[in-house]
Homo-oligomer: A and B are copies of this chain.
């Protein structure tokens, strides 16, 4: 008899039928004797509709009112899920997140400060399932805030952490976290467990199963997350502390990100302050630089290469050119047809030679590595975009990530 937080994403509550399906899951958990706090996203497409409306009435939407408008999607779905539960005879009530989740005043991207667990516990003590609208909270002064796109996960993890819940189940439209994108690597296999750090590297690299901020929060508070499909009963993937990951695979996943563009500023002076001179104006323009590589200098000059999201390339280039001019650089070139492929794994920490094995495998296929970036549990390479699928499959095989045999896949 524990306390379970269950979170249903936008597709999982996208239609009345799916809301009733979600209610059946909640009811089953309740029948098993658990206390249940449910966190819901807005019905799929609803938040986009509200954002569109806000932008249509105001060129520069006021942030307070904008949050007020876009937060209503979750109010609807939380009420509907409570209705569906009550209709099945399950005691339930929706509760305004603004009454229990206190945030700072950074509208549209607010951070959770505190969760009023007393209020939640009082409601649970009455025997009801509590349905909480995700993605939102309220400031000290009573203004509704939203926590950023995808922050329904964050709400769920924050509640689970504050309530010291036994588990946080995230229901979504995939069955778990895979060793790679099954659309690209047919032999990709669902992982039974991954560590928070592996998940962070995977989600920030585009696995897009869990919002990154929510994984960071789960890691900080040790909240065990069960990512699973709302459309099937199979076990999903547990995202857990490193200590709980028994089988520490050298590499547990291969991920990719096509949304990259590469910029090189040639022959900049190799003196202190040059990196700052280049990246400060780019950062000020709100462009997120991903991989940065600076080679050793020749004649006091060096080449600076970095990647940015492809959609920001057009904005980034004039800035890079202006900086290049000021620094007396040799010129600026760019390539919008690159992609990043990464291998992630806790076991990498102790095993030497993973990088060498990775580079050898790519080389054997004639794939040229343009940039390399490494962290403790991740190695990323930037390659020509046309090799993405090939690189993923080769690396998946190289590190033996595939199912033993097709048809005998672990679930």
Contact = CB atoms under 8 A, between A and B. Distances in A.
Contact of A86 (B65, B83, B94): B65
A192 interface: no
B83 A61 contact: yes
A196 interface: no
A99 B54 CA distance: 23
Contacts of A68: 75, 78-79, 82, 94
Q: Which of A79, A81, A82 has the most CB of B within 10 A?
A: A79
B62 A76 contact: no
A16 B58 CA distance: 9
Contact of A57 (B50, B53, B59, B87): B87
B62 A82 contact: yes
A20 interface: yes
A261 interface: no
Contacts of A142: 99
Interface string A38-62: 0000000000001001101111111
Contacts of A75: 68-69, 72, 75
A83 B80 CA distance: 27
A283 B66 CA distance: 47
Contacts of A56: 16
A84 interface: yes
Contacts of A50: 76
A251 interface: no
B57 A80 contact: yes
Contacts of A92: 65
Contacts of A78: 68
A110 to B, nearest CB: 16
A340 to B, nearest CB: 38
Contacts of A16: 53, 56-57
A332 interface: no
Given A72-B76, A75-B75, A84 B64 contact: no
A19 interface: yes
A81 to B, nearest CB: 8
Interface string A75-110: 110111111101100001110000100000000000
Contacts of A19: 57
B69 A93 contact: no
Given A53-B16, A64-B93, A58 B79 contact: no
Given A68-B82, A72-B72, 20 more contacts: A16-B56, A20-B57, A23-B57, A50-B76, A53-B80, A54-B79, A54-B80, A57-B84, A58-B83, A58-B84, A61-B87, A62-B83, A62-B87, A65-B80, A65-B92, A65-B93, A68-B79, A68-B94, A69-B75, A72-B75
